[in-house]
Amino acid sequence: MCEIFSYKSYSSQVDIVINVNSLDTNHETRDKHLIGSMWLDAKSYPEIKFISSSIRKEDINKYRIEGSLTIKNITKKK
């Protein structure tokens, strides 16, 4: 959840960095599997990053945020 206290589209940006080892699905065996080398490979790629390129207000409490998502050094842009 994210709370927005004031919104100015011309100056807003979101940068999110997630520590892969902090993954918690409430199932320890699944967490170990997901952060292991077959999936997210936390030892080689310890972070997931999202950097916004645009933020648009769509409704009173609804925003569309587009940007670049990087997982395992592969970046996809929307």
CATH number, domain of 65, equals: 2.40.128.110
CA distance 46 to 21: 7
C-alpha of 5 from chain center = 20
What is the side-by-side order of every strand in the sheet holding 47-59? 15-19, 47-59, 62-71, 74-77
Please report which helix (H) or strand (E) contains residue 32, including its range. Answer: helix 28-35
Instruction: Report the number of distinct structural domains present in the chain.
Output: 1
In a domain, 1, yes or no: no
Q: What is the mean pLDDT of residues 49-77?
A: 93
pLDDT value for 78: 79
| pLDDT surpasses 80 at 38 | yes
Instruction: Name the DSSP letter for residue 14.
Output: -
pLDDT value for 6: 60
In a domain, 63, yes or no: yes
Q: The domain containing residue 57 runs over which residues?
A: 15-77
pLDDT value for 61: 84
| pLDDT surpasses 90 at 3 | no
pLDDT value for 60: 86
24 vs 1 pLDDT, higher one: 24
